[in-house]
Amino acid sequence: MSAPLRLIVLARDQSRHVQDAWRDIKAFLDAEPGADVLAAAVTEDLDLNGLDPDIAVVLGGDGAILRACRQFDRKQIPLLGVNLGRLGFLADLSPEEFCEQFPRLQERRYDVVEHLMFDCTVRFKDGRTESHLGLNEVLLSSTTLCMMDIDLHVDRELVTTYSGDGLILATPVGSTAHSLSAGGPILRQDLPAFVVTPICPHTLTNRPLVDSADCEFRLTLPRAPAGVTGVIDGQIRFPLAEGDEVIVRRAKETFKLVKIPGHSYYAMLHRKLGWGGQPRYRRG
């Protein structure tokens, strides 16, 4: 018999369906001898000092997983998502599937897949700097809907200047989020690369760019209207102005996602995004 699985449970979303699911899962775990719940956070931030969990179970959608990832910061813990959101690309199991699959989890018959994260450093023209750890993407956009210019430097080489509504620099995990909506490609989640996707570029030639995750990406604003904003993972926001620059590099830390064998990436694309369908050809 394997040792009890040491768990942290995060269920901070106060919506009724998340809290109802948490009560059901809590009752299940309380009665399960193979579970050792070290801590649970329903409303307050969780103090991780002194805790050594095997996995953290996150109840909610992909946004809840992004918040958990940001909270764990430089001490990333393997996360298992229980999907209670609209799509749940990272949160793959339903509450019922979590209970059904728990014996496999308790016996450690799961994989921990590591995904690329990034360090984003913002250097303001007045000399201030701030840094953030991210998982999905960095977005630069204008809230006033005025066209802006963004210079892209890769390893200190000026690659191009994008003129349009903004720019998205995404990881493979983030390639199926905002970048996909803006016309960017789907990257396999374990690919060591970034994708640069312009938003409504004012040109006939600019297309998304995929480059190595070992490169340094520097975004500068040679001309910017008022209201330009930088956004990391849809949750961290900072104002930007002409002369500011955003530098993105691969982080030393990786995002650790718990996967149950049999849940393949391409099957998830089919199931979640309806990807890969063919036209309804006439037969005969």
Could you give the residue numbers annotated as active site?
Answer: 62
Q: What letter represents residue 1's amino acid? A: M
Q: What letter represents residue 73's amino acid? A: D
Strand bridging mode 79-83 / 55-60: parallel
Beta-bridge mates of residue 140:
167, 230
Radius of gyration of the chain (CA): 21
Compute the CA torsion angle 180, 84, 139, 200 (nearest 10 deg).
40
Tell me the three state secondary structure of residue 278: coil
**CB 184, CB 165: distance < 8 Å:** no
**CB 39, CB 46: distance < 8 Å:** yes
Distance CA(259)–CA(257), nearest Å, equals 6
Q: What letter represents residue 230's amino acid? A: G
Distances (CA, A) of 264 to 91, 113, 133, 188, 271: 13, 12, 27, 11, 10
**CB 135, CB 234: distance < 8 Å:** no
